[in-house]
Chains A and B, each alone.
Chain A
Amino acid sequence: KNQVEQSPQSLIILEGKNCTLQCNYTVSPFSNLRWYKQDTGRGPVSLTIMTFSENTKSNGRYTATLDADTKQSSLHITASQLSDSASYICVVTGGGNKLTFGTGTQLKVEL
């Protein structure tokens, strides 16, 4: 069964600190992996997309990594800001272009 597991479920950090969110998947065959940011009461917005051959991709203060061998991805947030408070969702595309969504990591950045 295709699954995407994210950890931690929730996280609280101080403004200016770094953090790393994890995504493990069992989706096969693998096509790509996306990270989305979802603000409270809003729809998700795509941050990055990783294909099989890509190890690292950055989008400003967001850096995603992918290890296709171990089926793990991480999203690293550098110098966190209050506006980073959101849910971060990992989505894996498998066979037939079918998407499997993780349950998300709820991040709160505090002063």
Chain B
Amino acid sequence: DGGITQSPKYLFRKEGQNVTLSCEQNLNHDAMYWYRQDPGQGLRLIYYSQIVNDFQKGDIAEGYSVSREKKESFPLTVTSAQKNPTAFYLCASSLVFGGGASAQHFGDGTRLSIL
């Protein structure tokens, strides 16, 4: 079945540690996104990639980094510079960039907590 796979489902970070969240899609979508979801807030865009080997900062990119070396993969690294990383992280993809006729398909998220 086509879809987006995020792993791990739960992740714990120690002080000063970088952690990487995995996102893989087999939908042959060009565009991929990372969002952060906090209680009582709408999804906020961290980074997006319109095509392989290209990515752009979203609204809250500080303390995060990404890479897009393969079309199928868009990993997100939460660095030690992100002082409040506890949140639910969602990866999404779409056939083309943005919110046009092509809906964004979401993975089932990774919940990151601080130890």
Contacts and interface: CB of A to CB of B under 8 A. Distances in A.
Whether A associates with B in a native complex is yes
Interface of A: 4, 31-32, 34, 41-46, 49, 89, 91-93, 96-104
Nearest to A99: B99
B75 interface: no
Interface of B: 4, 6, 40-45, 90, 92, 97-101, 103-109, 111
Interface of B, helix, strand, loop or mixed by DSSP: loop
A42 B100 contact: no
Contact of B109 (A42, A46, A93): A42
A101 B98 CA distance: 13
Contact of A93 (B42, B43, B98, B108): B98
B42 A96 contact: no
18 contacts: A31-B100, A41-B108, A41-B111, A42-B109, A43-B4, A43-B108, A43-B109, A44-B43, A45-B106, A49-B103, A89-B43, A93-B98, A96-B98, A99-B45, A99-B98, A99-B104, A101-B44, A103-B41
